[in-house]
Amino acid sequence: MSAQRSIVIGGGAFAGLALALALRQGLGNDVPIVVADPALATRPSRDPRATAIVAACRRLFEAIEVWPEVAGEAQPILDMVVTDSRLEDATRPTFLTFAGEVEPGEPFAHMIENRHLIDALVRRAEAADIDLRATAVTSFDSRTDGVDVTLGDGSVIAASLLVAADGARSKLRERAGIATHGWDYDQSGIVVTVGHERDHRGRAEEHFLPAGPFAILPLTGQRSSLVWTEKRSEAARIIALNADEFLGELEQRFGLHLGEIKALDQPRAFPLGYFVARSFIGERLALIGDAAHVIHPIAGQGLNMGLKDVAALAEVVVDAARLGRDLGQADVLDHYQLWRRFDTMAMGLATNSLNLLFSNQSTVLRHVRDIGLGLVDRMPPLKSLFIRQAAGLGGEVPRLLKGEAL
């Protein structure tokens, strides 16, 4: 392997840290890897949210030796039911059910609280001698043979490649002049953790209501994480309610099947939209995760799309290094973009179509989608295909998503 400059990753959340670990594993200690993010100063993490990690991305975390640290905090999703109803309906008929295994003994997804996974990633990065800087990338200057990256503490790093993993409002994407295209949904996702009297038995539920999906996702213990979609103005009204009034709104949607319920943390609302960067690459720059794309949470694929970026970028960079090539040169990054952009566009359009189909008051559309869900439920091969796609195992799968080390 020829001598290489550093790789700098701007952003130290799931995607940035997972990429750093994958690159360290594939490149060894010959290439310095720097992760820069002011949030690294907040230890341990206080992120109250939870995330569904699909099977392919769990395999990635196993390959970079993080999953064993958090497996005890992860709740396997063993079953999933889909309903379609209105708030005032007396019953919620089940139109679609999934048994949650992609392979015998391998659930198609696990739920885990973000703070456990972030803390495990940071600990593993420290053990792998990755240079963690609790500061931001403030500017960069790309040249033919490298990129000079300036950090908030004034230090300048001569790098081969800069990776933007700094989220939906990416300053690095903006500084590179990469535009985005997409739209706002005028919806917000309300996120809250709920405690309940009865055991969920690993069952996830997705109730399609006229305002949008209401997802109940099982956590360890007698707890579930909710992702509750409403019109933006209605979401703002709901999270401003006092505790008793909020509980009333929650019970109306959650139902009584798990006994008494209560909110275990403060509900928060996040605006929902769809956008994709016009390019996933720039001169010696690659975009991953929310810096490259944001999709509707209706299919629970947002974070997992970012981890697919990680797996693809790590593979093309490591393969280039083994051939003695410059890690940040244009054709290496072109390979990454070709691999990821079509899949991202397809998933974005699919989630947008699902949102349009399910988040409305149309009786005609309701009958059409319920017939469709019922047909899928009666076709085991099609259900199996859907499960594999939802688990991230469709199409050309990078090695890390197969659980293979680089």
Q: What is the per-residue DSSP string for 11-55? A: --SHHHHHHHHHHHHHHTTSS-EEEE-GGGGS-S-----EEEEEH
> What pLDDT does residue 211 have?
85
In this structure, the number of other CB atoms found within 10 A of the CB of residue 88 comes to 6
Tokens for 124, please give them. Answer: 């593993």
| Mean pLDDT, the chain, integer | 88
User: In whole angstroms, how far apart are CA 158 and each of 6, 30, 47, 143?
Assistant: 7, 15, 32, 11
> What pLDDT does residue 101 have?
74
Q: Confidence class of residue 199 from pLDDT cuts 50, 70 and 90?
A: very high
Burial class (CB in 10 A: 0-12, 13-18, 19+), 388: middle
> What pLDDT does residue 139 have?
97
Strand order in the sheet with 50-54: 50-54, 109-113, 75-76
> What pLDDT does residue 361 have?
61
Give the span between the Cα atoms of 400 and 55, in whole angstroms. Answer: 11
Q: Which amino acid is at 203?
A: R
Contact 188, 236 (CB under 8 A): yes
> What pLDDT does residue 355 have?
55
| Terminal C-alpha separation, the chain | 15
Q: Average pLDDT of 154-165?
A: 97
> What pLDDT does residue 354 have?
61
For the ranges 12-16, 200-204, 318-322, 359-363, which has the lowest average pLDDT? 359-363
For the ranges 121-135, 138-152, 171-185, 387-401, which has the lowest average pLDDT? 387-401
**DSSP 8-state code for residue 369:** H
- Single out the residue of 355, 349, 357, 304 nearest to residue 186, CA to CA: 355
- Single out the residue of 180, 187, 192, 216 nearest to residue 355, CA to CA: 187
> What pLDDT does residue 103 have?
80
Whether the pLDDT of residue 390 is over 90: the answer is: no
Q: Confidence class of residue 372 from pLDDT cuts 50, 70 and 90?
A: low
Q: Average pLDDT of 246-266?
A: 94
> Can you tell me which residue has the tokens 């996120």?
191
Whether the pLDDT of residue 300 is over 90: the answer is: no
Which of 45-49, 101-105, 320-324 is most confident? Answer: 320-324
